[in-house]
């Protein structure tokens, strides 16, 4: 081989571009992990659909007129309907006495979730519910005599009856319906109104 041919061969080896497969593989794996993590976070941040909450009771066509009269509701506790012009404060409020239905229903209209429990519910169950309410805006909690279930969660037109505060559906209901799509008056306040039972 001549000297010039040898030089060209050496130059070609030195100047040949090599594909950096290790770097490509590394960044491909990092990118894939990032896409999976972002997708998972997005799915977790979305509220569950009403269809995914087993036992959910739904009621449409609820009236929303203001009245000073007592209202006869067809569900216990009520899921909506005519109500008092003054809402019950629902900024993570725990009440130890029963509430007037007409004020609590107005809070539901603003996007609140009302957690009611049968008087005599075990203290540890009440504490679990209390912790959730105190850490979640647009919620209120109160005892409710005569419930046919130990715990009832209610939003405007939505209701869920539960046997235990440990039920995973408690969190699912809160995620789906606190200021959820069912809210007739989105953006309405949950403070500055009735603060006593």
Cβ–Cβ under 8 Å, residues 129 and 165: yes
Q: What does the DSSP assignment read for 11-23?
A: HHHHH-----HHH
Give me the tens of pLDDT residue by residue for the chain, a chain 197 residues long.
Answer: 555 555 555 555 555 667 676 777 777 777 777 777 676 665 555 555 556 899 999 999 999 999 999 999 999 999 999 999 999 999 999 999 999 999 999 999 999 999 999 999 999 999 999 999 999 999 999 999 999 999 999 999 999 999 999 999 999 999 999 999 999 999 999 999 999 99
| Residue 29 DSSP code | H
Cβ–Cβ under 8 Å, residues 158 and 80: no
CA–CA dist 74, 45 (Å, integer): 34
Which helix (H) or strand (E) is 42 found in, with range?
helix 21-45
Please report how many Cα atoms fall inside a 13 Å half-sphere around the Cα of residue 156, on the Cβ side: 26
CA–CA dist 93, 140 (Å, integer): 5
Helix and strand element counts for the chain (H, E): 5, 6
């Amino acid at each position: 081989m001549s000297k010039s041919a040898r030089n060209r061969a050496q130059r070609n080896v030195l100047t040949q571009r090599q594909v950096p497969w290790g770097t490509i593989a590394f960044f491909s794996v990092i990118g894939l992990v990032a896409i999976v993590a972002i997708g998972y976070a997005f799915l977790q941040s979305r509220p569950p659909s009403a269809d995914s909450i087993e036992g959910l009771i739904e009621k449409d066509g609820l009236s929303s007129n203001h009245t000073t009269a007592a209202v006869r509701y067809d569900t216990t506790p009520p899921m909506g309907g005519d109500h008092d012009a003054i809402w019950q404060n629902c900024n993570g409020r725990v009440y130890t006495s029963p509430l007037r239905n007409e004020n609590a229903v107005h809070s539901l209209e603003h996007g609140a979730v009302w957690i009611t429990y049968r008087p005599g519910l075990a203290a540890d169950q009440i504490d679990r519910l209390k912790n959730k309410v105190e850490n979640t805006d647009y919620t209120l909690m109160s005892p409710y005599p005569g419930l046919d279930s130990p715990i009832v969660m209610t939003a405007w037109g939505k209701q869920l009856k539960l046997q235990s505060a440990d039920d995973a559906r408690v969190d699912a209901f809160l995620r789906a319906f606190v200021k959820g799509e069912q809210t007739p008056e989105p953006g309405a306040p949950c403070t500055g109104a009735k603060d006593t039972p």
